[in-house]
C-alpha cells in the first residue's frame, strides 16, 4: 500500500502518467485529426476516402493517421491495396461527445447573456 497513488481522496499523478495523459489529449488537440476521427465515427474509411473527405493532402492525412494509430485511437486493416481505418478506442467518441456537449452549453449560455446584456 505504499504506492504513491493513494486512491482515497487525493490522487496525485506521477510525471510519467501526466506525460501519457498529455500525449493522449495532444492527439485530440488538432482540428484535422478531429476531422478524421469525426469522419471515422460514421464508419470505416480507407485512407484515400479520408484524404478526399478531409480536403487535406495525402501526406498529411497519412501522418495524422499514424499519430492517431500510435495513440491507440485508430486501427488499420489492410484490404487489397487500401488501408481501412476505424476508431479503435471508444473513448474517442465519449471524449468528443462530452466536449461537444460542453461547447454547446457554453455557446447557448453566451448567447443568452449576450441577449440579456445588450442594453
Query: Could you say whether residue 118 binds a second copy (CB under 8 A)?
Result: no
Query: Could you say whether residue 59 binds DNA (CB under 7 A)?
Result: yes
Query: Residues near 40 by Cβ (< 8 Å), separated by ≥ 6?
Result: 50, 74, 85, 86, 87
Among all chains, which residue has been given the C-alpha cell 476531422? 35
Nearest to 28 by CA among 98, 106, 77: 98
Nearest to 84 by CA among 56, 27, 43: 43
Q: How far is the CB of 58 from a second copy (least distance, A)?
A: 20
Query: Could you say whether residue 12 binds a second copy (CB under 8 A)?
Result: yes
Query: Could you say whether residue 3 binds a second copy (CB under 8 A)?
Result: no
Distance CA 33, CA 65 (A): 8
Nearer to DNA, 80 or 90 (CB): 80
Query: Could you say whether residue 111 binds a second copy (CB under 8 A)?
Result: no
Binding mask 20-59 for a second copy (x = CB under 8 A): xxxxxxx-xxxx-xxx--x--xx-----------------
Q: How far is the CB of 76 from a second copy (least distance, A)?
A: 18
Query: Could you say whether residue 95 binds a second copy (CB under 8 A)?
Result: yes
Q: Dihedral sign for Cα 55, 56, 61, 62, please.
A: positive
Amino acid at each position: 500500500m505504499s504506492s504513491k497513488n493513494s486512491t482515497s481522496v487525493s490522487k496525485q499523478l506521477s510525471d510519467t502518467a501526466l506525460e501519457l495523459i498529455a500525449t493522449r489529449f495532444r492527439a485530440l488537440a488538432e482540428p484535422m485529426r478531429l476531422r478524421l476521427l469525426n469522419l471515422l465515427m460514421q464508419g470505416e474509411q480507407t485512407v484515400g476516402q479520408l484524404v478526399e473527405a478531409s480536403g487535406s493532402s495525402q501526406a498529411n492525412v497519412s501522418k495524422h493517421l499514424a499519430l492517431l494509430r500510435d495513440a491507440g485511437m485508430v486501427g488499420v486493416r489492410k484490404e487489397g491495396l487500401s488501408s481501412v481505418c476505424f476508431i479503435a478506442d471508444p473513448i474517442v467518441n465519449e471524449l468528443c461527445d462530452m466536449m461537444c456537449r460542453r461547447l454547446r452549453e457554453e455557446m447557448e449560455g453566451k448567447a443568452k447573456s449576450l441577449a440579456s446584456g445588450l442594453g
